[in-house]
Amino acid sequence: MVSRTRFDDSDCPVARSVDAIGDWWSLLIVRDAFDGSRRFGEFQRSLGVAKNILTTRLRTLVAGGVLASVPASDGSAYREYVLTPKGEALFPVIVALRQWGEQHFFAPDEPHSELVDRRGGHRLRVLEVRAEDGRRVGPEDTTVQKASEG
Amino acid sequence: MVSRTRFDDSDCPVARSVDAIGDWWSLLIVRDAFDGSRRFGEFQRSLGVAKNILTTRLRTLVAGGVLASVPASDGSAYREYVLTPKGEALFPVIVALRQWGEQHFFAPDEPHSELVDRRGGHRLRVLEVRAEDGRRVGPEDTTVQKASEG
DNA sequence: TCGCTTTGGTAGCATGTTGCAACCATCGCC
DNA sequence: GGCGATGGTTGCAACATGCTACCAAAGCGA
Give the per-residue SS3 of chain A. Answer: CCCCCCCCCCCCHHHHHHHHHCCHHHHHHHHHHHCCCCCHHHHHHHHCCCHHHHHHHHHHHHHCCCEEEEECCCCCCCEEEEECHHHHCCHHHHHHHHHHHHHHHCCCCCCEEEEEECCCCCEECCCCCEECCCCECCHHHEEEEEEECC
CATH code for position A48: 1.10.10.10
> A49-75 burial, b for 16+ CB within 10 Å, e for fewer?
beeeebebbbebbbebebbbeeeeeee
Domain with B71 in it:
13-84
- Residues 56-95, chain A, touching B (beta carbon < 8 A): 65, 83, 86, 88-95
Mean pLDDT of chain B: 90
Same domain, B65 and B97: no
Same domain, A35 and A56: yes
Same domain, A21 and A55: yes
Tens of pLDDT, residue by residue over A82-127, are 999 999 999 999 999 999 999 999 998 888 898 999 998 999 999 9
Same domain, A27 and A62: yes
Tell me the pTM. 0.92
B63 touches strand C (CB under 7 A): no
Same domain, B41 and B60: yes
- In chain A, how many domains are there? 2
Q: Specify the pLDDT at position B132.
A: 94
- 3-state DSSP call for residue B121? coil
A43 CA, D20 C1': Å apart: 20
Name which of A10-14, A66-70, B4-8, B11-15 the model is least confident about: B4-8
As a whole number, mean pLDDT of residues B85-111 equals: 95
The residue in chain A having the minimum alpha-carbon distance to the alpha carbon of residue B112 is A147
Same domain, A134 and A79: no
Q: How far is the C-alpha of B135 from the C-alpha of A122, rounded, in Å?
A: 12
- On whether residue A8 sits in a domain, the answer given is no
Q: Specify the pLDDT at position B6.
A: 63
The residue in chain B having the minimum alpha-carbon distance to the alpha carbon of residue A25 is B7
- On whether residue B48 sits in a domain, the answer given is yes
Same domain, A62 and A96: no
Q: Specify the pLDDT at position A65.
A: 95
Tens of pLDDT, residue by residue over A6-56, are 665 578 999 999 999 988 999 999 999 999 999 999 999 999 999 999 999
- On whether residue B62 sits in a domain, the answer given is yes
Q: Give A136's strand partners.
A: A130
